[in-house]
Amino acid sequence: MRLFAQELIDTGEVRPELDAGEVADVVWSMNSAEFYYLLVQERGWPPQRYEHWLADAWCRLFLIESA
């Protein structure tokens, strides 16, 4: 996760107050099987909805807002 996080930071599009460790921690926790299970199995989300929601959440959490 740290390698992915650093590569994301290296694009220059990550909010400057975030470091690779914090990004990696969030990616690791939100990408866990338990998180998926809660939303897909327990709450009935289709897997594709989860996939799109997770991508959107990461964009909102990590990326610099465009004007």
- Number of domains the chain contains: 1
- For residue 67, pLDDT over 50 is answered with no
Question: Domain for residue 67, yes or no?
Answer: no
Question: Domain for residue 51, yes or no?
Answer: yes
Question: Domain for residue 35, yes or no?
Answer: yes
Question: Domain for residue 58, yes or no?
Answer: yes
Question: Domain for residue 6, yes or no?
Answer: yes
What is the pTM for the complete model shown?
A: 0.85
Question: Could you report the per-residue pLDDT of 21-62, keeping only the tens digit for each?
Answer: 999 999 999 999 999 999 999 999 999 999 999 999 999 999
Question: Domain for residue 23, yes or no?
Answer: yes
CA–CA dist 30, 58 (Å, integer): 9
Question: Domain for residue 47, yes or no?
Answer: yes
How many Cα neighbours within 13 Å face the side chain of 23? 24
Range of the domain at 16: 2-62
